[in-house]
Structure 1
Amino acid sequence: MERLNYGIIGCGMMGQEHLRNIALLSNAGVAAIFEPDPAMRSAAAAMVPGARIVNTIEELLAVEAVNCLLIASPNYFHLEQLEKIAAIRPLPVLVEKPLFTAPEDAPRLEALRAAYPAPIWVAMEYRYMPPVARMIEEAEAATGGVRMLTIREHRFPFLEKVGDWNRFNRNTGGTLVEKCCHFFDLMRHILKSDPVRIMASGGQSVNHVSESYNGERSDIWDNAYVIVDFASGARAMLELCMFAEGARYQEEISAVGPRGKIECHVPGPGRFWPDHLGEPPVAQVIVSPRDPKGPRMIEIPVDPSLLAAGDHNGSTFYQHQRFQRAALGNQPIEVSLEDGWWAVAMGLAAQQSALTGEAVDLSTQTYAMAS
């Protein structure tokens, strides 16, 4: 197998999780890193001492050994950086979500999608969490066709990021874009249908309400309910609470159909689990048929080395394995620009619905996916 030599753009908290997981891959390594923050650059250099540390994206793309890219910069840089790469040296890219943060960015992404000659994989790690992947694999047989899908995330507040960029809607796209595009992607992926209408209620109730940065108060939301109607007739709901870190499980997903129900329970990052409670919980998948009745619970343990490498239940590693195969031409892209586009469009529509109190028809939105 040809070796992947990554050029890394952005080595903050998520970028460093990617570095740890790339180190676990076979035939892969990091050739060059671009990270403008001095502290993060120093941390990344210590993690990958053989990588070349560069000062610009142009300099990174000039490193001959680099044959694929990872973008893990703040949200509002993603599209601009993809456009720069397209103009200079279009290599296979794994780009963190969200792809864009504002409705007016959508035409630029459409132009990129039409012209980019190499694979672009959008990093939707939640698809690859082992319990979520197991649930998706068994959902059709367990439910007889999913008609109702519920995703609940009860978690910790937004963590501190370089320059506090994630404290403001203008930088993130809003919580329902920044945080929840993962879940909107899961909805489309599980239901195999596109959304047609979104209703939401959300706001900032507890977290960061007294925080101010350079005289500007944080406005990032910390809770929401979102209901989505799909073209297939199925419906889905998201419940987000970011002041519920005391919960045993961080994500709880359930899918129900005429034959029964399947659900999964995913613990949060092990580093946040209190020592006095012993070992962190193990992820579960539960299948509950209607006839004969009787739930069946399956534990889904994850390799401890993968849990130690990041905060996403091992999914970052499995995502990189698949990206590696796609970058080398051995499998198709699994999370496309179209998937990433829809996830943002759904988040923007949910933000709009929550602000206006009205349901949003996605067919009327300029940022909805072009056919």
Structure 2
Amino acid sequence: MSDILNYGVIGCGMMGQEHLRNIALLPGARVAAIFEPDEIQAAAAGALAPEAVMYGSLWDLLGDTRLDCLLVASPNHLHVSQFEEIAARNPLPLLMEKPLFTDPDDAPRLRAMAEGYAAPIWVAMEYRYMPPVQTLLDQVAQATGGVKMLTIQEHRFPFLDKVGFWNRFNRYTGGTLVEKCCHFFDLMRLILRDEPVRVMASAGQEVNHMAESYEAGTPDIWDSAYVICDFAGGARAMLELCMYAEGSRFQEEISAIGPAGKIETRIPGPGRFWPPHLGAPPVSEVVVSPRNPRGPQSIEIPVDPQLLAAGDHNGSTYYQHVRFADAARGKGPVEVSLTDGLRAVEMGLAAQAAALEGRVVTL
């Protein structure tokens, strides 16, 4: 491997372009090759990474001998087949965007392929790397004395417009509780250091996209949900999702409570959506509220403005690439494993089934 880490990027829509902007900030790394079949997105990607070679197929990109690692940021339903092609043609260190898969039948295929994959596989769970979430992770055990109750709330804007509006349909996304919320199920496992055993949910499409119509049909993607997960060690976790609440000051709020106290973090949404007439966008904060002595202690967690401008995830995409680049170079561990990606999707699929069928799903 040369001093420069050469990325091959598969898929350069909205999220793929966020990755391009963040790789451009990464010392000792560059985007060397891109496969993006949509002409408009390919042109935008070429402007962000002008030195990259544009390929007409994934197979051709995988034949580029300069590449040191790969990033897949294509639509969800393409991930498994593209992973298969990569494994067969050029199994380089791989950063695979979430969700890892959308069809329950694909989980065994992924496990089988991963067993023979010699290079690191890292599932992109950006929310782990938001600075306020990192602060919560560092302090949660001491602040709570062991988490018994965990609540994750996301009040945000509707799904944005993506190529072919693929994100409006369950058959392409895996459903909202897979597509959007596997991040949060991953955080539940990470914070609790435990595995879920039961999932209950209520969810539906109440407001968004109901009057829209596309070549693929009428959108069926959900826009709101409550999900409750029981964990093996006795902790309970809840997700509250609303995707027609973009007027909120904070987009994500996480609260963890245990016998010693509570720790919370509040995270604003993308700064580009903040109304200019309200002044500067809010700054993330972490609040620790011990039971004894009582009294909340609050600190702000600012993020480098350059990183905020490079994406919509509170700087986390950059910090994730720093860690992934170390793993790709053999200088650090894989922090988000294939198993982590699989479990997060399995929780999302269980929540989809629980809400759709009105039952408790046992894992």
Superposition TM-score, scaled by structure 2 size: 0.99
- Displacement after TM superposition at 1:214 (Å): 2.0
User: In 2, distance between residues paired with 1:343 and 1:112?
Assistant: 18
Tell me the secondary structure at the aligned position of residue 166 of structure 2: helix
1:1-371 equivalences under 5 Å are 2-214=3-215, 216-362=217-363
Alpha-carbon distance in 2 for matches of 1:111, 1:120: 13
Work out the CA distance in 2 between the residues paired with 1:194 and 1:215: 37
Structure 2 unaligned spans of 5+: none
Q: Give the superposed CA RMSD.
A: 0.8
Q: Which amino acid aligns with 2:309?
A: A
Query: Are the counterparts in 2 of residues 2 and 328 from structure 1 also a CA contact under 8 Å?
Result: no
Does structure 2 conserve the Cα–Cα contact (< 8 Å) formed by 1:92 and 1:118?
A: yes
Amino acid at match of 2:73: A
The one-letter amino acid paired with 1:360 is: V
Q: C-alpha offsets along residues 62-88 of structure 1, whole Å, 9 cap, x if unaligned?
A: 111111000000000111111100001
Deviation track 1:103-141 (CA, whole Å, cap 9, x = no partner) reads 111111111121111001000000000001100110000
Per-residue deviation, residues 294-349 of structure 1 (Å, max 9, x unmatched)? 00000000000000000000000000000000011111100000000000000000
Contact 1:152 1:251 in 2 (8 A): yes
> Could you tell me how far apart the structure 1 residues matched to 2:360 and 2:212 are?
31
Task: Give the corresponding residue for 1:369.
Answer: none
Q: Distance in 1 between matches of 2:216 and 2:359?
A: 32
User: Once the 2 structures are TM-superposed, how far is the Cα of residue 234 of structure 1 from its aligned partner?
Assistant: 0.7
- Deviation string 1:132-171 (CA, Å, 9 cap, x unpaired) is 1100110000000111100000000000000110010000
Q: How many residues align?
A: 362
Identity %: 68
**Counterparts in 2 of 1:332 and 1:150: CA distance versus 1, 3 Å:** same
SS at 1:216 equivalent: coil
SS in 2 for 1:319: helix
Cα distance in 1, alignment partners of residues 93 and 191 from structure 2 = 26
- Give the Cα–Cα distance (whole angstroms) in 2 for the partners of residues 36 and 155 of structure 1: 30
1:215 Cα offset (Å): 6.6
State how far apart, in whole Å, the 1-side matches of 2:334 and 2:77 are: 23
Secondary structure at the counterpart of residue 100 of structure 2: coil
Provide closer, same or farther for how the CA distance between residues 196 and 61 of structure 1 changes in structure 2, counting only shifts above 3 A: same
CA distance in 1, matches of 2:235, 2:216: 45
1:165-210 Cα deviation digits (max 9, x unpaired) = 0010000000000000000000000000011000000000000011
What is the rounded CA distance, in whole Å, between the counterparts of 1:29 and 1:344 in structure 2? 30
AA of the residue aligned to 2:237: A
1:68–1:91 CA contact under 8 A, matched in 2: yes
Counterparts of 1:335 and 1:278, CA distance in 2: 37
Who is 1:367 aligned against?
none
3-state SS of paired residue (1:78): helix
Q: Which ranges in structure 1 are unaligned for 5 or more consecutive residues? A: 363-371
